[in-house]
Structure 1
Amino acid sequence: MPVFSAPDGTRLACHLHGEGEPLVILPGGPMRASAYLGNLGGLDAHRQLVLLDLRGTGESGPPADPGTYRCDRLVDDVEALRLHLGLERMDLLAHSAGGSLAMLYAARYPERVGRLALVTATPWALGWPATAGDRLTAARLRTSEPWFAEAFPAFEAWLGGTGDFDPVFLPFFYGRWDDTARAHAAREEAETNDDAADLYGAEGAYDPDATRSALARLTAHVLVLAGGVDGGPSPSLARRAAEVFPAAEFTVQPGAGHYPWLDDPEWFVRRLAAFFP
C-alpha cells in the first residue's frame, strides 16, 4: 500500500490491483473508502488500478483542516498522487461523486490528463445535479421487482423531504439486487466519512461556468458511462455532461444501476478495456 504526503502534510494512501500501466481511480460516496470499488469487476486484468483513499477515508489520514474535504481542495491530493507515481500524464477513472473531483482536476491540470472515464458520475461540478424527478423516473423502471411496492413509497418520501433515508430503497441503486449487491450496500456506512461528505460540496466547491469553459478546451479523450436504470445521473443527464467535452464518447450500460461493475462485470470491463488500451 503506497503512502505519500499531500501538500499540507496529510498522510495519503492508495491501493494497487493488477500490473501494467497505471490507471488512477477516484472513488465516490462522496468520501467513501476506495475498498468499495474492489477490482472494478476484473479491470485489473488489463491495467494496474491505483485506488486513492481520499483524505479521512480508508487508510488515508484526516487533515488538520476539515475545510480541505471540499471537492476543489482535494484536487491538490490528486496532483500529489500523480507526482508520487512519477507520471507526466495519467489516465483517470472516476466514479459517482469522484467524477466532480476528476472534472475539477482536468479543468486545472488539462495537460496532465491522458484519458478520463466518468462512471455514473453526477455532474455537480458542471452545476447539474440529479433531480428527484430523474431518480423517480428511473425507479419506476423497476416496477416488476418483488421489492418495488415496499421500496418506492419510502424512496418517494425521502426525495420529497417528507421521509428519512430508509435502507428499504437501496435496491434502486443497483441493477441487480442480489447477495453481492446486499453485501456491497451493507458496507457503505462503515466505509464512508459522513462528516467529510457533508463538506465535499460545501459553498465554494464548484464554479460551474468556469469549469464548463475549461473543459470545453480539454483535448483528452473522455468516456462518460451511464447505467440504464440509474437515476443519479440518468442517461440523459450523463449525455448532457458528455457534450461539454470536445472529444467524448457516451455509452449506456444496459440494466446497470449506480455500480455497473457489479451488475454486469463482463460488459463493464470489456467497454472500459476498449477505452483504456
Structure 2
Amino acid sequence: MPIFTVRDGTALACHERGEGAPLVVLPGGPMRATAYLGDLGGLDAHRRLILLDLRGTGESAVPADPATYRCDRLVDDVEALRAHLALDRMDLLAHSAGGSLAMLYAARHPGRVGRLALITATPWALGMPATAGHRLAAARLRENEPWFPEAFPAFEAWLEGTGDFDPVFLPFFYGRWDDTARAHAAGEEAQVNEEACDLYGSTGAYDPPETRAALARFTAPVLVLAGELDGGPAPSLARRAADAFPAAGFAVQPGAGHYPWLDDREWFVRRVTDFLSGRG
C-alpha cells in the first residue's frame, strides 16, 4: 500500500490491485474509503487499479484543516498522486460523487488525463444534482420487488424531508438485493467519514459555468456510464452530463443500480475495458 505526502503534510494511501497499465480510481460516498470498490467486478484482471483513499478516509491521514475536504481542494491531491506515480498522463475512473472530483480535475489539468470513465457519476460539478423526482421515478421501476411496499414510503419520506434515513430502502441503490448487495451495504457506515462528507460539496466547492466552459475544451475520450435502475444519477441526467464533453460516449447498463460492477460483472468489465482500450 503506497503512502505519499502532499503539500500540506497529509499522508495519503493508495491501494494497488492487478497488473497492466495503471488506472487511477476515485471513490464516491462522498468521502468513502475505496474498500467498497473491491476489484470493480474483475477490472483488475485487465488494468492495474490504483485506488486513492481520499484524505480522512480508509488508510489516509486526517488533515489538519477540515476545509481541505472540499471537493475543489481535493483536486490537488489527485494531481499529487499523478506526480507520485510519475505519469505524464493517466487514465481515470471515478464513481458516484467522485465523478465531480474527476470533472474538476479534468477541467484544471486537461493535459494530464488520457481517458476518463465516469461511473454512475453525480454531476454536481456541472450544476446538475439528482432530484427527488429522479430518484422516485427510478424507485417505482422496482414495484414488483417483494421489499418494495415497505421500502418505498420510507424512501419517499426521506427524500421529501419528512423522514430519516432508513436502511429499509437500501435495495433501491442496487440492481439486485441479494447477499452480495447486503454485505456491500453493511460496510458503508464504517467506510464513510461523515464530517468530510458534509464538507465535500460545501459552499465554494463548485463553479458550474466555469467547469462547463473548461470541459467544453476537454478533448480526451470520456465514457459516461449509467445504471438503468439508478436514480442518482438517472440515465437521463447522466446523458445530459455527457453532453458537457466534446468526445463523450454514453452507455446504460441494463438492470444495474448505483454499483453496476456488482449487478453484472461481465457486462461492466467488458464495456469499461472496451472504452479504455479504444475499442468502444
TM-score (norm 1): 1.00
* Whole-angstrom distance in 1 between the partners of 2:271 and 2:102: 20
Matched ranges for 1:1-277 at <5 A = 1-277=1-277
SS in 2 for 1:177: coil
Code of the residue aligned with 2:128 in structure 1: it is W
Deviation of 1:122 (Å): 1.1
Structure 2 stretches lacking a partner, 5+ long: none
* Whole-angstrom distance in 2 between the partners of 1:58 and 1:175: 26
* Whole-angstrom distance in 1 between the partners of 2:18 and 2:173: 28
* Whole-angstrom distance in 2 between the partners of 1:241 and 1:103: 10
SS in 2 for 1:137: helix
* Whole-angstrom distance in 2 between the partners of 1:5 and 1:213: 32
Spell out, residue by residue over 1:204-226, the C-alpha distance to the aligned partner (whole angstroms, 9 max, x if none): 00000000000000010000000
Deviation of 1:110 (Å): 0.2
Spell out, residue by residue over 1:112-139, the C-alpha distance to the aligned partner (whole angstroms, 9 max, x if none): 0000000001100000000000000000
Deviation of 1:6 (Å): 1.3
Structure 1 stretches lacking a partner, 5+ long: none
CA-based RMSD of the aligned residues comes to: 0.3
Code of the residue aligned with 2:123 in structure 1: it is P
* Whole-angstrom distance in 2 between the partners of 1:10 and 1:26: 18
* Whole-angstrom distance in 1 between the partners of 2:77 and 2:7: 7
SS in 2 for 1:142: coil
Deviation of 1:7 (Å): 1.4
Code of the residue aligned with 1:77 in structure 2: it is D
Matched pairs, number: 277
Code of the residue aligned with 1:189 in structure 2: it is E
Spell out, residue by residue over 1:144-187, the C-alpha distance to the aligned partner (whole angstroms, 9 max, x if none): 10000000000000000000000000000000000000000000
* Whole-angstrom distance in 2 between the partners of 1:100 and 1:6: 21
Deviation of 1:98 (Å): 0.1
Spell out, residue by residue over 1:38-86, the C-alpha distance to the aligned partner (whole angstroms, 9 max, x if none): 0000000100000000000000001000000000000000000000000
* Whole-angstrom distance in 1 between the partners of 2:227 and 2:215: 23
* Whole-angstrom distance in 1 between the partners of 2:214 and 2:7: 24
Code of the residue aligned with 1:133 in structure 2: it is G
* Whole-angstrom distance in 2 between the partners of 1:92 and 1:56: 21
* Whole-angstrom distance in 1 between the partners of 2:251 and 2:6: 34
Code of the residue aligned with 2:178 in structure 1: it is D
* Structure 1 stretches of 4+ moved >4 Å: none
* Whole-angstrom distance in 2 between the partners of 1:220 and 1:102: 13
* Whole-angstrom distance in 2 between the partners of 1:122 and 1:238: 8
* Whole-angstrom distance in 1 between the partners of 2:181 and 2:219: 36
* Whole-angstrom distance in 2 between the partners of 1:251 and 1:25: 19
Identity %: 80
Code of the residue aligned with 1:167 in structure 2: it is P
